[in-house]
Amino acid sequence: LKAYHPLLIEGHSRDDRDPRAVGDQIIYNLRESRKERNITKPFILITQGDPLTERGISAITRHVSAELEIKRCLVTLDEEYDSTHSDLADRVDVVYELKFSQLLSMLNEKTDQIGSTLEEAIERKLALKNAKRAELGKDPMAAWAKTYAMLQEVTKVTMKKICGEVTVAHTTDSIHPCSVTSFYEVGMELNLIDKEDMVAF
């Protein structure tokens, strides 16, 4: 993996827009970012277990990887977190496959404990979001929100640790404040992901 520049695309699984149109805009943004940042390593697309659908994040990522002709690395949750996550994952063009627990152990090795720091920050962020929802008379976020926020943040932070660089592209500029994608703020607030690593839609 060190020979690659890891690319993560974050967005909603229920995105109803044309995945080709969304993907083409992301590709344009990525090419501009690549030139501006002078990225020399080939991209590898890091996906996080989304099952293939006609629309949504999995369709968008498949279009981007096909158009850029890049291979993919798949990260899935261990069975203790989600027993069907790995089985349902899209594996087209996947050349590396890792479990969430493997990435988490890399972040918690030695005295770094970065994974634990991320978890605590995500729990605080989740509590704030749920408090705002309660003020509006809404139910708390889904029970799985923390797990998938951890998957998202641990994946990108670990990939940056392994490769020394990372790109995170969003599929929209209108990120819902109570979506899993919105937890991208955590990695940035902890200075584990830089503003330069992010590619807006």
201 residues of the chain, pLDDT tens digit each: 999 999 999 998 788 899 999 999 999 999 999 999 999 999 999 999 988 888 989 999 999 999 999 999 999 999 999 999 999 999 988 999 999 999 999 998 865 789 999 999 999 999 999 999 999 999 999 999 999 999 999 999 999 999 999 999 999 998 999 999 999 999 999 999 999 999 999
Decide if 182 contacts 153 (C-beta within 8 A): no
pTM above the 0.85 mark?
Answer: yes
CB-based burial label for 8 (10 Å; 0-12, 13-18, 19+)? buried
Map residue 3 onto helix, strand or coil. Answer: coil
